[in-house]
Amino acid sequence: MTSTPQKSDTVRLVVATATMFIPVALVLGSFIIWKDQLPQEIASHWSGTGPADGVMTAAQFLTLALVLTGSAALAAVVIGLWPDLRPAVRRGGFLLAGLAAGAGAQSWVVNTLLTMRVGDPYEVVLGAWGVVGFAAAGYGFIPFIIAPKPQQISHDVVSRIDIGPGQGGAWTRTITAKLFFWTYLALLAVGIAIYSTSVANDRLSEALVGLAVIAAVVLVLASFSRYQVTADWRGLRVVSSLLRITLKRIPLHEIKTVEAAELVPSEWGGWGYRITPGRSALILRKGTGLIVTLTNAKQFALTLEDPEVPAALLATFRDQHHSATNS
């Protein structure tokens, strides 16, 4: 499975990069408008809901804001021009750079405006304006959304299983994920070690609450440590062997293509059960796996040692289902 560039990608990339210069322009523009009325010091830090307990000179605050927004804009240029950068990594870079740019511009504009209104920087109360800070940190979602998405080409498996219409057939495999197994054992051991001191000091209730939280986390991890994969006339199913929870279910009519391919964890968001925009995956190692592309263009990937057989079986049942539906 490979990515193919589209002609419109260049335009989207230029626009996404250009949006990263808006925070810089906001800082510089506000400075030009306010330069004749800027106070010598600007409120810069709050320890609680009361007045500010820290200030910076206007020159220091302006420099800090320009460094944050300017560095983010330059980083966006590098991200946009880097020739071999994968689209998913490029969009993630825009997201992080936008976080810094939004925070820098917001801090300068809001803090300076409030200080000019109040007069004394130590009397400035941030109040509801603090919410603006969280919103501004999400500025990176603008270039993230605009930047071109990965365009994937899916290849349908060539081989088929010799199964006549109306005949049954199934492939199933139980997989033990050692990665999660050792992780939850380590968590359990750490929890027991930490809270054993609480029991020794007669803080039993504290220990029970802490152990209960850790046990809940361990239980969630345990549900991924051993699971059953089934491919049959109903489609693809991934079920937790411990809790019998369905982790993934894809019916036949939703399958567009299915293929056996080499899976690289970094291309699917890392190890474990990963969910990214338009894609999800259960990645336990680097190597062979199954990739199912749905009719809505979303994808699901699963590491398997022998994905050719379930891929061929799913393709066979899908073809039969389509033939029966269209006849």
* Helix orientation angle between 178-200 and 204-225, rounded to the nearest 10 degrees: 170
Last residue of a domain, one of 146, 180, 206: 146
Q: What is the pLDDT along the chain (327 residues), one digit of tens a residue?
A: 444 445 577 888 899 999 999 999 999 999 999 998 899 999 988 877 788 888 899 999 999 999 999 999 999 999 988 877 777 788 888 999 999 999 999 999 999 999 999 888 898 887 777 777 778 878 989 998 888 876 666 788 888 888 876 677 899 998 887 666 666 677 667 767 766 665 556 666 666 766 677 777 777 666 667 789 999 999 999 998 877 888 899 999 999 999 999 988 877 877 878 887 778 898 888 889 999 999 988 899 999 988 999 999 999 999 988 888 876
**What residue has token string 């991890």?**
221
**Residue 175 Cα to chain centre, angstroms:** 25
Reference 313, options 248, 249, 234, 253; nearest CA is 234
Q: Are residues 142 and 175 in the same domain?
A: no
Within 13 Å, how many C-alpha atoms sit on residue 190's CB side?
10
| Domain contains 28 | yes
Neighbours of 201 (CB within 10 A): 10
Q: Are residues 200 and 128 in the same domain?
A: no
| Domain contains 21 | yes
CATH number at residue 294: 2.30.29.30
CA distance 44 to 42: 6
Q: Are residues 126 and 80 in the same domain?
A: yes
Within 13 Å, how many C-alpha atoms sit on residue 170's CB side?
11
Overall pTM > 0.75: no
Q: Are residues 110 and 178 in the same domain?
A: no
Q: Are residues 51 and 90 in the same domain?
A: yes
| Domain contains 165 | no
| Domain contains 164 | no
| Domain contains 159 | no
CB of 249 within 8 A of CB of 237? yes
Q: Are residues 67 and 129 in the same domain?
A: yes
**What residue has token string 């991934």?**
238
57 strand-pairing partners = 41
| Domain contains 160 | no
CA distance 192 to 194: 6
Within 13 Å, how many C-alpha atoms sit on residue 45's CB side?
6
| Domain contains 293 | yes
Reference 253, options 202, 311, 314; nearest CA is 314
Provide the total of helices (H) and of strands (E) in the chain, helices listed first.
9, 11
Q: Are residues 110 and 192 in the same domain?
A: no
Token pair, residue 37, equals 């009325």
**What is the number of structural domains in the chain?**
2
Q: Are residues 138 and 183 in the same domain?
A: no
| Domain contains 153 | no
Q: Are residues 142 and 178 in the same domain?
A: no
Last residue of a domain, one of 87, 112, 146: 146
- Which domain covers residue 110, as residue numbers? 7-146
Last residue of a domain, one of 146, 181, 205: 146
Q: Are residues 219 and 101 in the same domain?
A: no
Q: Are residues 36 and 91 in the same domain?
A: yes
**Residue 161 Cα to chain centre, angstroms:** 37
Phi-psi region of 269 (alpha: psi -120 to 50; beta: other; left: phi over 0): left
Q: Are residues 179 and 313 in the same domain?
A: yes
Instruction: Note the pLDDT tens digit of each residue in 134-150.
Output: 788 789 899 988 888 76
